[in-house]
Structure 1
Amino acid sequence: MISGLMIFGGLALLAFGGDGLVRGSVGIANRLKLSPMFVGLVLVGFGTSAPELATSVQAQLSGSPDVAVGNVVGSNTANILLILGIGALIRPILAVREALLRDGLALSLVTVAAITFLFHSPLPAIWGAALIGLLLGYIGLSYVLDRRRGDRAGALHEAEAASASAPENIGLAILFFAGGLVGVLVGARLLVTGAIDIAGAMGVPEAIIGLTLVAIGTSLPELAATIAAALRRQGDVAFGNVIGSNIFNAAGILGAAALVRPLEIPGRILGEDIWIMLAATAILILFAFTGQRVDRREGALLLALYAGYIIWLSASA
């Protein structure tokens, strides 16, 4: 009962905290007159991935690397199959060609690099730093290209910033940021503690808890952003949110977890779940390239694949 309340409270704090963190960060950046491209690419991308970051780092500090790794792998899989599937059912999601060529390629490279690094278990700090270096390189290159070319990829990042609905008052923006940060940190601790307790009580491997309950919970900001973008007919923003979040997760969050301490990689994730994540990434790129969009039929297929994955995980538990 107590563990369930901790999980519920943690998920609520992560959802509201992540949203507050994004709005506060964008509001502060707007007052500082930072570039909309920078705001959309860096602050919105980081803000929507903050719950995953806080949760995975907290799991590492608590001695539960299975939850830390499962959270990242499960979140990336859920972002594509579950969240993008829901968004496509609401309204077909367009893929901006310029952004797809660059960001889709970056996602593919980062995903393959992360999987390669994960086989060096325990993942040492030097490899964690290398993953973070990949993320910083992607951010820097994207920002330079956006400013130099002024193409639709840059416009997409600006639209992501505009979609954050940031407060205009600087005091209110700081309050949103501070409250969101506290919410994310406290929510992550509650979620990890409750999830570990339930896993122990039910005899369910922590990796599966991380891949399902924790991963879906920390992906709530991406779900909210995708649904809002789909309802506003901004499918390209929804697509960009998912790709950007997955790049941040695979490079930044795994890297940060490895910097805390050497990251032990669960055998079942190496043998099964990372390949599901890779397959989901390949399906996303295929759908987007073949039709420059993810339509309702493809969205339904994504959801069906995710339902099958969850059923398979439940049976293996």
Structure 2
Amino acid sequence: MDFLYTQFPSFADSLLFHLVLILIGLVALYYGAEWLVKGASEIAVRVGISPLVVGLTVVAFGTSAPELLVCLEANLGGRPDVALGNIIGSNICNIALILGVSAAMKPIVINRQIIRREMPILIVVTLAFIVMLYNGDIGRFEGGLLFAGVVIYVVVSIIQSRKEHKPNDFGEFSAEDVERVKKAGALTIFMDIGFILLGLAVLKFGSEWLVVGGDFTARRIGVDDSIIALFLFAFGTSLPELATSIVAVKRGEGDIITGNAVGSCIFNILAVIGITALVKPVAKGDILMVDQMVMLGATVAIFLFMWSRMRLSRMEGVCLLLAYVAYSVVRYNMT
């Protein structure tokens, strides 16, 4: 990066260069998360951790890793509204766009656990997040509370899944995949460690490029940082969840779709904002109350959709997509 600014200053200061930087950053975040999840999941299965537990912990946190890296990069760089906008936008994207696309492609049957446990937790966590933002920032103490919440959530999920785990219940892993991982040789372990390290490195650089390119582009075209974060960054960091959901739709695995989207929303607030605020308090910046209310409204709406008939229909999926488009248009015109 410094080499380009030194040797090709005019090009490095152009809008085209930073648009390319955004694109490369998005691609890096997608593949970085994929490699991180692949390596960590296979190691976890190899050492005897239930695949269901892996899905609730490693995969959920892995798909939230892009949000974490972008938030840390933005907040430490003096762009707290980008950090908050990324999380609020990602949660709206997970619920309205990802679940909307998935349900529009094929109706989704909802597992009772999602309605009885995960959705109430997400609603409470979302309300707590909005209350914490009321005074204008999220401090280290509040960040500590959020992080403690994700630790409790993960521990309870592991304990509960062990009690309810069935011998043939492999979560989002097929029985063939589990056997393949367990029978793999020692060399595969080093390959999995390599995937984890490579994924973390790519996520680090991808988040940096995305924030730098997005910040420059926002300033050049006169768009607020919050808009860039709420939509561009949010969509980019939600690519792992979107890819996972599309594959799950084709396989007819509704639990993965809803669990992935809802679980990622919980991790985004508890883990990502919690860790970010622990490192440095997060100021509210240009994030509006309407953004927070849309996030809360989308969460409550999807809970009502799920609760009514234990499924998401194609029509409800289309409604979610239209609502996301309407919010995008209205929010952009408010700047």
What's the TM-score, normalizing by structure 2?
0.89
What's the secondary structure of 2:98's corresponding residue?
Answer: helix
The CA deviation string for residues 160-187 of structure 1, in whole angstroms up to 9 with x for no partner, is 3559x79832122122211111111110
Contact 1:40 1:159 in 2 (8 A): yes
What's the secondary structure of 2:171's corresponding residue?
Answer: helix
- Number of aligned residues: 311
Q: Matches of 1:52 and 1:279 in 2, distance apart? A: 21
2:172 pairs with one of 135, 157, 160: 160
Q: Matches of 1:150 and 1:24 in 2, distance apart? A: 23
Matched, 1:200 2:215: no
Name 2:305's counterpart in structure 1: 287
Name 2:150's counterpart in structure 1: 135
Residue 267 of structure 1: how far off its partner (Å): 4.7
The aligned amino acid for 1:237 is I
Q: Matches of 2:60 and 2:113 in 1, distance apart? A: 18
Which stretch of the first structure deviates more once superposed, 294-303 or 107-116? 107-116
Name 1:47's counterpart in structure 2: 62
2:283 pairs with one of 237, 257, 264: 264
Q: Matches of 2:213 and 2:297 in 1, distance apart? A: 30
1:16 pairs with one of 27, 31, 39: 31
1:56 pairs with one of 71, 83, 97: 71
Q: Matches of 1:222 and 1:238 in 2, distance apart? A: 8
1:188 pairs with one of 178, 182, 207: 207
Matched, 1:303 2:321: yes
Q: State the identity %.
A: 38
2:95 pairs with one of 80, 84, 90: 80
What's the TM-score, normalizing by structure 1?
0.94
Name segments (4+ residues, structure 1) moved above 4 Å: none
Contact 2:53 2:161 in 1 (8 A): no
Q: Matches of 1:81 and 1:99 in 2, distance apart? A: 17
What's the secondary structure of 1:266's corresponding residue?
Answer: coil
Matched, 1:105 2:123: no
Larger Rg belongs to = 2
Show the 5 A alignment for 1:106-121: 106-121=121-136
Q: Matches of 1:193 and 1:162 in 2, distance apart? A: 40
Q: Matches of 1:268 and 1:175 in 2, distance apart? A: 38
Q: Matches of 2:155 and 2:117 in 1, distance apart? A: 13
Residue 266 of structure 1: how far off its partner (Å): 2.5
Q: Matches of 2:173 and 2:276 in 1, distance apart? A: 27
Q: CA RMSD in A?
A: 1.8
Q: Where in structure 2 are there 5+ consecutive unaligned residues? A: 1-15, 182-187
The aligned amino acid for 1:94 is V
The CA deviation string for residues 15-40 of structure 1, in whole angstroms up to 9 with x for no partner, is 11111111111011122222223211
Q: Matches of 1:238 and 1:188 in 2, distance apart? A: 25
Name 1:239's counterpart in structure 2: 258
Q: Matches of 2:34 and 2:135 in 1, distance apart? A: 35
Q: Matches of 1:147 and 1:170 in 2, distance apart? A: 25
Q: Matches of 2:225 and 2:172 in 1, distance apart? A: 34
Q: Where in structure 1 are there 5+ consecutive unaligned residues? A: none
